[in-house]
Amino acid sequence: MSETRHNWTKAEILDIYNTSLMELLYQAATIHREHHDPNTVQVSTLLSIKTGGCPEDCGYCPQAARYHTNIEGNDLMTVNQVKAQALRAKSSGSSRVCMGAAWRNVKDGEEFDQVLEMVRTINKLDMEVCCTLGMITENQAQRLAEAGLYAYNHNLDSSEEYYKEVISTRGYEDRLKTIDNVRKTNVTVCSGGIIGMGENIEDRAGMLVALSTLNPQPESVPINALVAVEGTPLEEQTPISIWEMVRMVATTRIVMPETQVRLSAGRTEMTREGQAMCFFAGANSIFAGDKLLTTPNPDVSEDMEMFKLLGLNPQKPFIKKMQPESVEAAQSQYQALGEKPKWSRPEHKIERNETAKEKAKVLK
């Protein structure tokens, strides 16, 4: 059986990525079958619990307050609203609910307490709970773990070099620090990135170096294809081809054999045949539902029809790791510390981000 390595080099990963497609697919599929059931795919539902108004300048994101993207913002959802959505997701075949809030970082207080109660509520439904809330401190990660969080998502987005061409309001090292804070708990890590933002193949390999050299490697790695949203700095980007997606999935599978490779944003542009190739290449997790935070996604019934056609089964919850226990707020060992961490703000200028911001001022 292939062993998990933590010393992959960019040159090695580029060699894998550029292998002839038939050989690449064979290698990836072989490794996939050594570590996973090839006929089982984990299904998650992504729920935007707080939409829009984000202070960051991520060039791909329609939720950034500085761009004009016609996204309808909403305040933090209630616990009951989230519970209703989780029950709906469970009935349609999802084993995990991923809650996303358009925050730069978590701040102790009433809203975070509300999120902790959402985590407890969903965990008690016997579903895996994931959150993506921005940067978090070690204490905040411990509080999420106590509430019953199964996974925390914090994507690296791209290589450290290309990251500077997409985001200027926070540093790459803050992303790594957040992952490190999560690793100090029993919560699993979900971290991946986006391809199709104008990066080159070396940048894609660089992102996989950053992820694969983490020890342990992330339990889940989302591979997103950019969904170019009008009003964002990346609105003019040409969509990537399915072959690029297949190669990226296969390469990820080879360098991170035990990780669940998540076929994420961009699936609406893929045919069933294209998605089937991604599953063959090692993807074994998807997001279901008609939206991924704010971008379109295939309908659940379409996905279940595709699963039936391909002979795939949704993965049951807590197969990879035992269900965490939820500690009630009153019994919590970790309390709010009112921390004010100094997350970085590089604030270098990215020309296309500045152009989109100025355009938004006129449109607003």
Alpha-carbon distances, residue 77 vs 74, 111, 115, 292 (angstroms): 8, 10, 9, 16
List 58, 96, 131, 253, catalytic entry: 58
List 66, 96, 98, 253, catalytic entry: 98
Q: Which two tokens stand for residue 325?
A: 């226990």
List 66, 253, 262, 267, catalytic entry: 262
Q: How many CB atoms lie within 10 A of CB 40?
A: 14
Amino acid letter, residue 25: L
Side-chain half-sphere CA neighbours of 253 within 13 A: 31
Amino acid letter, residue 290: D
Q: Tell me if residue 131 is catalytic.
A: no
Q: Tell me if residue 54 is catalytic.
A: yes
Question: What's the Rg (C-alpha) of the chain?
Answer: 19
List 190, 204, 253, 278, catalytic entry: 190
Q: Tell me if residue 98 is catalytic.
A: yes
Q: Shortest CA distance to 133 belongs to which of 150, 118, 153?
A: 153
List 66, 130, 204, 267, catalytic entry: 130
Distance separating alpha carbons of residues 125 and 281, to the nearest angstrom: 32
Instruction: Tell me whether strands 220-225 and 295-296 are parallel, antiparallel or unpaired.
Output: unpaired
Q: Which two tokens stand for residue 150?
A: 């199964």
Active-site positions read 54, 58, 61, 98, 130, 190, 262
